[in-house]
A and B are shown apart, each in its own frame.
Chain A
Amino acid sequence: MSASAQAVTRAADGRGVLVIGVGGLSSPALSVLVESGVRRLTLVDDDEVDETNLQRQILFADADVGRPKVEAAAERLAELAGEPLQLELVRARFGHDNARALIAGHRLVLEGADNYATKFLAADAAKLEGVAIVQAGAVRLSGWALGVSLASGPCLRCVFEDIPRGQPETCAIAGVLGPVVGVLGCLEAALAVQLLLGQTRAAGVLWSYDASRGRLHKRRVSRRAECPLCTGEISALDSERYANHCAA
């Protein structure tokens, strides 16, 4: 293992990295994290591999269809690492009732959920547990990524404020170009490694990717004075805040 990978291994101590959702974003992200030296991971997903996942969820192959995603992913990651990994596999939904317990003790959260409610729940729970988080979203030909370090402030709610109501687009409904989640998942991994190594300047930057124009754009974002999460107004995970929206 290279010296840089050893540094990442040491940085991801304790329970390591918690990964919420093992899908399009997390597949490339996990591959890169493991190759970068992360050896302790908790994978959370209640879903099974579906044939429609294979075009973008690169951890899985035809033979995995029908298997729990966390199990199939664990096997593939162990192959990539070429050595034993310390993996906790949680075949369950990430919800308001288990979010804080799942996050506690980890060095960082990598969020790869496919719905707004889980993204905001992850943001809230990570803040309440005092754990850094990297988040992203993608649909069709575009997406975004954001690293959040408690030291540098702006969180998801500083940027996108709250869960949109109505019928939001998801990959299942609108589709997503496989390489788009590939780019954003790898970007999540890059942000995660930087934050694990204490490079807090990687946080607080909103990355926007537009595959149709071949553009990756970054903007430094600021903490909003009215942000209910950063001000402490959100002090608990009220189920009503995420009710009927969390899918994974």
Chain B
Amino acid sequence: MPGAPRRIGLLLALGVAAAQATVMPVPAGPDDAVVEVLPQVTRLRPAATPATPDALARPAAPLAAALAREAIETARRTGDARYWGRARAALGAWWDDPRAPADLLVLQATVLQGQHAFDAAAVRLQQALSVDPLNAQAWLTLATLQRLQARYDEALRACAGVARAGAGFHARACALELRSLRGDDTARDWAALAAAAPDPGSLAWVHSLWGEHLERQGDDRGAAARYQDSLRAAPDLYTALALADLRLRGQQPDAALQALADQPETDAVLLRRAAAWRQRGDARWQTALVALLDRQRGLERRGEDLTPHAREFGLMALWLQDDPRAALRWAERNLTLQKEPIDWWIALESARRTRQIDRLAAWREQLAAAGLRDVRLRVAS
């Protein structure tokens, strides 16, 4: 029966296709039916022309910078990683060229930061600052990189660079956040900073930082109010996720879902929704977990380094998979990359739940050495 194996093969293929419920055909519709909303409108189409040497010639720097900025903004707003790749391609002619204009080096660093290549990003910023020591954005981004690796003293020096470059408001915000992370008394400084915010975007930023400060201090109610102020001033994905995490920690799944209501279904958002559904006893969390695991396999299939995703995988192992051993492995990888409060929390929590006393002690020592003060981490240990 020579046809049998093929028929079995077909059945299998159908089974596999059915399992991938993430792919759904779109029924044909009338000409005015919208099938996709684009995150940004394309105004220039370099790919429309064949890749000849002409097309590879350097476009004018301001044009490349404008294209890159637009793509970076879209990547941040939507969480869609393809726009980091586009920003990088827009800067392609200057990529890896230390003699590129300082502005373009800073943009390269921003893309590398977005792709979580923090060390490479710091190198680009140093190159930019050697050309242009008064580049406020370069100092500010450098401070961010150092802050999220828990190098607070270096980051404070970078904030001083922001001040020297003349961006007083940003320098104040930069330093205030670091002082708060180290546990300095900053309670009276935040309102003054918010009052000095020059535009709604900056105000949203201050409120978001203020909320994080209050959360570290253990004032969840105040933190939630600041996050909400921030989202009212100018909505952004980062703050919505922070608010959702706070609600999840407080066992308020409905409020967590509400915080994410208008956000695009990025993997980080889906992870929080799944955790909230689980807290609420909503069976959808299991479907979401299957989808997340599917996306994880997709990343592996692309041949991507999974370390930049270790934070979310660690959270997934703790929140959805009840697998603290796996969380511990992700936490180890994650701490080689970043050391923000949530990264320490994943590490301490997974060490505690797997009863790895030595590991717990070692991480607590590192945490103390880094100088981070956060009441949530006291609870976790």
Q: Do A and B come from one complex?
A: no
